[in-house]
Amino acid sequence: MATSFKLIDKQLRLPGRIAGLFMRPSERGLRFLHRALRRAAGNDMVGAVSRTVSIARSDGNGMIRTRIFRPHNAPATLPIVLCLHGGGYAIGTPEQANFMRVCAGLMAVRDCVVVAPDYRLSLDAPYPAGLHDCYDSLLWAKENAAEIGGRTDQIFVMGDSGGGGLAVAVCLLARDRGDVAIAFQMPLYPMLDDRQINPSAVNNTMPIWNSRFNALAWKLYLRGLVEKGEPIPTYASPSRATDYTGLPPAATFVGDLDPFLDETVHYVERLKAAAIPVQFQIFEGCYHGFEQVVPTAAVSQAAVRFIQEAFAYAVDNYTAAQPNERYASKSTSAHAK
Tell whether the model's pLDDT for residue 331 goes beyond 50. no
Res 334: pLDDT: 30
Residue 336 scores a pLDDT above 90: no
- Percent of the chain with pLDDT strictly greater than 90: 82
pLDDT tens digits for range 228-259? 899 999 999 999 999 999 999 999 999 999 99
Q: First vs last Cα of the chain: how many Å apart?
A: 63
Clarify whether 288 is annotated catalytic.
yes
Query: How far, in Å, are 119, 182, 213, 311 from residue 317 at the CA level?
Result: 30, 14, 38, 10
Residue range 47-74, pLDDT digits in tens: 899 999 999 999 999 999 999 999 988 8
Please give the pLDDT value at position 337.
23
Domains annotated for the chain, with CATH where assigned, are 5-336 (3.40.50.1820)
Catalytic residue among 111, 137, 288, 300: 288
Q: Give me the catalytic one of 161, 237, 239, 300.
A: 161
pLDDT confidence of residue 1: 61
Residue 187 pLDDT exceeds 70: yes
Cβ burial of 133 (10 Å; 0-12, 13-18, 19+) is buried
Would residue 266 show up in a list of annotated catalytic residues for this protein? no
User: Of 125, 122, 113, nearest to 149 (Cα)?
Assistant: 113
Residues ≥6 apart with Cβ < 8 Å to 1: 199, 200, 201, 202, 203, 204, 259, 261
d(CA 114, CA 95): 12
Q: What is the pTM of this model?
A: 0.94
Separation between Cα atoms, residue 102 and residue 264, nearest integer Å: 19
Tens digits of residue pLDDT in 307-322? 999 999 999 999 999 9
pLDDT digits (tens, 9 = 90+) for 104-125: 999 999 999 999 999 999 999 9
In this prediction, residue 219 has a pLDDT band, given cuts at 50, 70 and 90, of: very high
Model confidence at 326, pLDDT cuts 50, 70, 90, reads low
Residue 192 confidence (pLDDT): 98
Based on the residue annotation, tell me whether 85 is a catalytic residue of this protein. Answer: no
Q: Which of 193, 258, 262, 300 is catalytic?
A: 258
Q: Is 52 left (phi over 0), alpha (psi -120 to 50) or beta?
A: beta
CB 138 within 8 A of CB 88: no
Q: Is the pLDDT of residue 3 over 70?
A: no
Average pLDDT, the chain: 93
